[in-house]
Chain A
Amino acid sequence: MPVEQAYSFLLSVLFYMGIYTIVVISLNMEAGYMGLPNFGKMMGVAAGAFTTSFFTWRLALYLHNRLTGEPIVYSDYVRENAMIVSRINEWLSASPGISLFLLLVTLIASLAIGAVIGYIASYPAIRLREDYLGITLLAVAEVIRVIGYNYKPIAGGTLGMQVPDLFRWAGQHRFSVSVLIIVAIALIVYLVYQRMLSTPFGRVLRAIRDDEEAVSSLGRDIVAYRKRVISAGTATAALAGALYALYTGSVIATAYDRVTWTFWPWVMMMLGGAGNNVGVLLGVGVFVIARTTIYTYKNMLEAYVPFNVVWLDYLLLSVTIIAILMLRPQGILPEKPIRTVKPLIRQNEST
């Protein structure tokens, strides 16, 4: 494979790994650690994307108009969206400082909105049992998407909207730089979660998953934990949604569907091993690399497959998931039991 192709393959893999690591780490905390079947994971991602499409260009426009003194004029921001955004991009390509500022603000706003939506969505989580909870969260996520699809101001409705390119200042290295930033953020998220979940907090979550009654009889407020976990998880996913939107340059509600942003994260989590952050990385890695490979070699595969290669994706995916469930439901890296006492006992036994 020629170097250019290899490099773009690498960038694509790193991009998706970065984005999905953020999403799946948060799902792992909810479902893997706490046992909350979040089938509405997509709502966090959509929240981040919609925050970006709603908010970023407005802020950028405001700053542009204030700082350049040449205000951009428009009448219908949805129809003239492309014009507005391209003017903003021109301006931003010369202003890395403002771009990064906008990036920071967008990410913080996404975290905030994600947390709020997660908090509201956690209300059903309070009392429902597993399958009912999963379905309710699924329904809430779908409602959010329908609203995002139909209520124009959010994401341009059925047409979608472009978002300002906050990486344009990097010129020809735009893609490399953006992927770098995304991977860095994913790494930060991973480390934060790893830290957070190795504290007693993480142990409480697992305890709740294994025996709710026991934990609550010890005085812990289960409901409060659930609210916290879902808010944090949704906020984190929103981060991924915002980054995804900013990288791709546009938002259309149909891109934030339950297969891509709820189901696939579940598959990645199960593949790598739930309840286990290293497993998450593994699952995300295997999934992303496999899919990117299939996509890259699509044309070659056409020869071997008696039908349109486009469908191969879902076909292989569905069969793989069932295979995992049948043969190794605990995933590649099963959860390790919590070590609180050093294994001196084993040493003593062998003597």
Chain B
Amino acid sequence: MIPPIVEDTIVYSSVLVLLSLGLTLTYMTTKVPNFAHATISIVGSYVTLTVLVLSLISLAREALISQADSQSFYRLIKSFSFAPLHYALFMALGFLLGSLIGVAQYKLVLKPLSQRGANVVQLMIATIAVDMFLLSMLNIYADKLLEYVVSKANELSSIAGFKVNLGVQTRDFILYSYDYSKTLGTQRLVIIAPIMAAALLLALSLVLYRTKLGVALRASIENPSLASTLGVNVDKMYTLAWTLSLGLAGLAGSLIPLKYLVNPSTGQLFVLSIFAASILGGLNSLAGAVIGGVLIACFEIPVFNYLSSHLGISSAYRTVIPLLAMALTLLFIPRGVAGLNWKKLFSRVRR
């Protein structure tokens, strides 16, 4: 049996790695940290919720068609668990929706503003505005989804002859129970999250280092003017980067509600953890993003846990960890972990 704190760290670091990879990749293209990154991932969370809602409704309909009574109906509903198809569906849709929003953000907001000569601060504010816009949209969606659920429940109730309650809410929701596996004795997420993170990381590296497209993307990120004189369509490359980055965000977000409480504004709570992970790793390094994600997750969970139990610090102060990490990194090692001169450090240590 894996201790819960280890499970926690595994899941959190997988999610954080996927998110900080995306953030770093978009930073490398537009040189602006994207404040909307976390909220876009929460869009993925709502994809998962929607898949759940639709599945429950169709399950409920089937149950009622077979004339179930109220007890067996509720037993059926409560026993619902995500099947492999569901995971594939919400992860894929999360990726898709995330990438669409990402491309829209790039093409409709950031690219035009860059072309008009907006400076870094103005671009940062633009990303904050996009974040707020998406937040409003998510709130509206949460309302609408709830209306839908309620109306369907009423419909089913009148067919059933008893009160049908699907047991879902569109705010403050957590889908742990649908992810629990009796055979594993724990959540499937504990396996799925790290595997997805590793697989996607591998896929991304292969694309970036083994394909012509990937090399062109890296070239465009590093030196867009030189790349364009060589015939690369730099804009297409940037669009590709944004597609991948926010696709990863949407996918990571689709997994989040399986373990964490989700609200439209949940993104605001952890956006700074993602920033901290990217900054700690070094905003110009993808390998750094991975290292940063793992480190921040370890600081936030096992390290903080140790400190809080031994020093009596309330667990509410966990949010201070990424903030401190961010500030300290920017002050002392601004290029992040990836920017450290490892050779120099090792030679110093050897002496």
Question: Is B97 part of the binding interface, using a Cβ–Cβ cutoff of 8 Å?
Answer: no
Give the Cβ gap from B320 to chain A, nearest Cβ, in Å: 5
B residues 253-285 touching A (CB-CB < 8 Å) = 272, 275, 279
Which of B113, B116, B319, B331 lies in contact with A128, CB distance below 8 A?
B331
Interface size class of A (residues with CB under 8 A): 35 or more
The stretch among A11-19, A86-94, A290-298, A313-321 that forms the contact with chain B is A313-321
Which residues does chain A contribute within 8 Å of B112, judged by CB atoms?
Answer: 326
The stretch among A106-114, A142-150, A236-244, A332-340 that forms the contact with chain B is A142-150
B residues 299-351 touching A (CB-CB < 8 Å) = 314, 316-317, 319-320, 323-324, 326-327, 330-331, 334
- Which single residue of chain B is at the shortest CB-CB distance from A123? B331
Question: Is B76 part of the binding interface, using a Cβ–Cβ cutoff of 8 Å?
Answer: no
Tell whether A136 pairs with B326 under 8 Å between CB atoms, given A131-B32, A308-B140. Answer: yes
Question: Is A132 part of the binding interface, using a Cβ–Cβ cutoff of 8 Å?
Answer: yes
Question: Is A96 part of the binding interface, using a Cβ–Cβ cutoff of 8 Å?
Answer: no
Interface size class of B (residues with CB under 8 A): 35 or more
Tell whether A142 pairs with B319 under 8 Å between CB atoms, given A135-B33, A314-B132. Answer: yes
Which residues does chain B contribute within 8 Å of A149, judged by CB atoms?
Answer: 316
Complex CA distance for A312 and B132, rounded to whole angstroms: 11
**B120–A131 contact, CB under 8 A?**
yes
Tell whether A321 pairs with B120 under 8 Å between CB atoms, given A124-B327, A140-B327. Answer: no
Which residues does chain B contribute within 8 Å of A314, judged by CB atoms?
Answer: 132-133, 135-136, 139
Which residues does chain B contribute within 8 Å of A124, judged by CB atoms?
Answer: 327, 330-331
Question: Is A307 part of the binding interface, using a Cβ–Cβ cutoff of 8 Å?
Answer: yes
Which of A131, A146, A315 lies in contact with B136, CB distance below 8 A?
A315
- Which single residue of chain A is at the shortest CB-CB distance from B264? A311
**A263–B143 contact, CB under 8 A?**
no
Which residues does chain A contribute within 8 Å of B323, judged by CB atoms?
Answer: 139-140, 142-143, 146
Question: Is A259 part of the binding interface, using a Cβ–Cβ cutoff of 8 Å?
Answer: yes
B residues 96-120 touching A (CB-CB < 8 Å) = 109, 112-113, 116, 118-120
**A322–B130 contact, CB under 8 A?**
yes
**A150–B317 contact, CB under 8 A?**
yes
Q: Mark B71-104, 1 if CB is under 8 A from A, else 0.
A: 0000000000000000000000000000000000
Which residues does chain B contribute within 8 Å of A249, judged by CB atoms?
Answer: none
Which residues does chain B contribute within 8 Å of A318, judged by CB atoms?
Answer: 129-133, 136
Give the Cβ gap from A134 to chain B, nearest Cβ, in Å: 6
Complex CA distance for A165 and B10, rounded to whole angstroms: 50
Which residues does chain A contribute within 8 Å of B124, judged by CB atoms?
Answer: 37, 39, 131, 134
**B132–A136 contact, CB under 8 A?**
no
Question: Is A325 part of the binding interface, using a Cβ–Cβ cutoff of 8 Å?
Answer: yes
Q: Mark B126-165, 1 if CB is under 8 A from A, else 0.
A: 1011111101110110011000000000000000000000
Which of B31, B118, B316 lies in contact with A329, CB distance below 8 A?
B118
Give the Cβ gap from A47 to chain B, nearest Cβ, in Å: 17
Question: Is A270 part of the binding interface, using a Cβ–Cβ cutoff of 8 Å?
Answer: yes
Which residues does chain B contribute within 8 Å of A321, judged by CB atoms?
Answer: 125-126, 128-129
**A319–B133 contact, CB under 8 A?**
yes
Question: Is B122 part of the binding interface, using a Cβ–Cβ cutoff of 8 Å?
Answer: yes
**B143–A143 contact, CB under 8 A?**
no
Question: Is B230 part of the binding interface, using a Cβ–Cβ cutoff of 8 Å?
Answer: no
Tell whether A325 pairs with B272 under 8 Å between CB atoms, given A135-B326, A308-B143, A317-B132. Answer: no
Question: Is B121 part of the binding interface, using a Cβ–Cβ cutoff of 8 Å?
Answer: yes
Please give the residue numbers on chain B whose beta carbons come within 8 Å of chain A beta carbons, in ascending order: 31-33, 109, 112-113, 116, 118-122, 124-126, 128-133, 135-137, 139-140, 143-144, 272, 275, 279, 314, 316-317, 319-320, 323-324, 326-327, 330-331, 334
15 A-B residue pairings within 8 Å (CB atoms): A135-B275, A136-B326, A143-B320, A143-B323, A143-B324, A146-B316, A150-B314, A263-B125, A307-B140, A318-B131, A321-B126, A325-B126, A325-B129, A329-B116, A329-B118
Please give the residue numbers on chain A whose beta carbons come within 8 Å of chain B beta carbons, in ascending order: 31, 37, 39, 124, 127-128, 130-132, 134-136, 138-140, 142-143, 146-147, 149-150, 259, 263, 266-267, 270, 307-308, 310-315, 317-319, 321-322, 325-326, 329
